[in-house]
Structure 1
Amino acid sequence: MNTKYKMLALDMDGTLLTSDQTISPDTAEWIKRAKEEGVHVCLSTGRSFESALPYGEELGLSTPMITVNGSEVWRAPHRLHQRSLMDPKLISDMHAIAVAEDCWFWAYSVERVYNKDHWTDSIEGKEWLKFGYHTEDDEARHRILMRLQDMGGLEITNSSPHNLEVNPQGINKASGIRKVCGLLDIDMSEVIAVGDSMNDLAAIQAAGLGVAMENAQEVVREAADFVTSSNDKDGIAEVIRKFIFHM
């Protein structure tokens, strides 16, 4: 293989997936070619394992996966390597903030996803991975952010300009990619990380090549080494052609 890059770490929503939540044939074909060249293709997503897995299967991936923004690292599909849980007390406090602001919220536990319409009375008895808020009220979102920052011990990002995603402090896609590099015996300098949102920023900054989608949030584009085409214009295929096949 004549590429210095040995791993492609791909965000899913807004990156690998088009606006209608599919993988385009061209992108799928170039991912297949990258795999044939020996490049490890790793899904790196804020989604749960159950939500991400069908896309990995569609691409024929048997490689490690990073789910829930790095709170779970999978050695291979269905083979968990590491899981980072949140203190139930933090979940309870974040839930109280969401109720006070009357905004949409959700939380990932190991067993399932809860949300504003389907919450639980037994926060203490569950294994929690991530909490999220969504509001298009900029002032409300800023108030939530301030309260979260005051709580401490949290990794706060987003997967769209209108949401906030919260993981345990120090847990993000970059920490997940480092763990995968350890499993595959490769260096972060040999990784291409691609994404579009704040939850991709740490990975884009830490990877050998950090790539933002054309549709990425501005701060993410500014931090990237390269800006590729949008998720609806086969931006991933462009990255593979340019940096793996030098076309």
Structure 2
Amino acid sequence: MLNKPPIPANRPSIPIRWIVSDLDGTLLDSRQRIPPGLVRRIARFTEAGGAFTFATGRTLRSAMPYMSQLGVTAPVILFNGARIYDPVTGTYLTEHRLDPADVRRVMRLHEEDGAVRQLDLLLFHQERIFCAALSERVRKQMDKDGVVAETASPERMASLAGQATKLMLLGPESGLIRFRQAEAAAKLNTVRSESGLLEVLPTGINKSVALSAMIRMLGAEADDFAAVGDNLNDLEMVGSVRNGFAVANADPAVKDAAAHVLARSNETSALLDVIEFAESTWAPRPGLPRAD
């Protein structure tokens, strides 16, 4: 069920063949699972000619179980847009890295500012994650994402500055606010994907930029796509396409940017309504499967 008119009467329906969904807070429920009924519905959508994929802040290793569960063969946006992965060839189609100077700037700020030092700093290098210590916050985040972090000295982390995909800061809101207000962080590309977490991405990178690159690679059009999200790292992506969707539990800014706000949340399989919407734009076909 949609809170906004699904297809305005004053324009023709444009077939939506692609659905690009965020994972946490959108496709996944609070237990980090895709409900069985939604898994079956996505399978019916792809069998009928649609394509389903993800745009997530997660690493490949973290996203892979869900890719396997749904049999995703379309390109997948990872690291909040810093990489696009092709499941068919097992290779990255695009890769972006942080400016080494930005990495060192963050590390200095983390070392010198007492409030910022309260935060856990993680460095993502390829599929490995490094941090100074395995705090309870780090363990909890790694458990949620299904990955493992390794401890490393500041010198070791600094040596990886030229090959870092992103940085992550975990901790109290006061520390995150202090970090964002620091002069050294003023020009960094930062994004919030959930409470108590801030990421630093390569300059000019977000999910929308990655989606545009993917659309060009596929030789498709933006109107062929529906994009779905819930948090601020989805803001640009959801607002960049005609058929942007915000789930019921989405951040207010994401709802404002979306063309459609869903009545269901991630806990009640909001993607069911997006699939129904997409199929409603297709030409009538005998025997087309409908939503549960």
TM-score using structure 1 length: 0.91
Report Cα offsets for 1:195-216 as digits up to 9, x if no partner.
1111101100112211111111
Counterpart of 1:114?
A: 130
Distance 1:30 1:238 in 2: 10
> Is 2:28 the counterpart of 1:17?
yes
State yes or no: 1:43 paired with 2:54.
Answer: yes
SS of the aligned residue for 2:194 comes to coil
CA RMSD of aligned residues (A): 2.0
**For residues 34-113 of structure 1, what are the structure 2 equivalents within 5 Å?**
34-76=45-87, 78-99=90-111, 100=113, 101=116, 102-113=118-129
Identity among equivalent pairs (%): 26
> Structure 1 CA distance, aligned partners of 2:24 and 2:109?
26
Name the amino acid aligned to 2:168.
Answer: G
**1:231/1:190 CA distance change after superposition, 3 Å:** same
Do the aligned partners of 1:30 and 1:241 also contact (CA within 8 Å) in 2? Answer: no
Q: Distance in 1 between matches of 2:38 and 2:109?
A: 40
Choose the corresponding residue for 1:198, options 232, 237, 245: 232
* Rg comparison, structure with higher value: 2
For residues 75 and 186 of structure 2, the distance between their equivalents in structure 1, rounded to whole angstroms, comes to 32
* Alignment-mate amino acid for residue 44 of structure 2: R
User: How big is each residue's C-alpha offset from its partner over 1:209-240, in whole Å with a ceiling of 9 and x where there is no partner?
Assistant: 11111111121112111122111100011211
Distance in structure 1 (CA, Å) of the matches to 2:123 and 2:183:
15
Rounded to whole Å, the distance in 2 between the matches of 1:214 and 1:51 is: 25
Deviation at 1:96, TM superposition (A): 2.8
Higher RCO (CA-CA < 8 Å; seq separation 6+): 2
What letter is aligned with 1:93? R
Which 4+ residue blocks in structure 1 deviate beyond 3 angstroms?
148-151
In 1, the alpha carbon distance for the partners of 2:85 and 2:93 equals 5
TM-score (norm 2): 0.78
Structure 1: segments with no counterpart, 5+ residues: none
Query: Structure 1 residues 226-235 or 2-11, which shifts more?
Result: 2-11
Give the equivalent residue in structure 2 for 1:238: 273
Inter-CA distance 176–149: structure 2 relative to 1 (3 Å threshold) = farther
- 1:29 matched to which residue of 2? 40
Q: Check conservation: 2:77, 2:211, Cα contact below 8 A.
A: yes
Provide the C-alpha distance between the structure 2 equivalents of 1:236 and 1:14, rounded to a whole number of angstroms. 11
Which deviates more, 77-86 or 142-151? 142-151
Structure 2: tracts of 5 or more residues without a match: 1-12, 134-150, 282-289
The count of residues paired between Structure 1 and Structure 2 equals 244
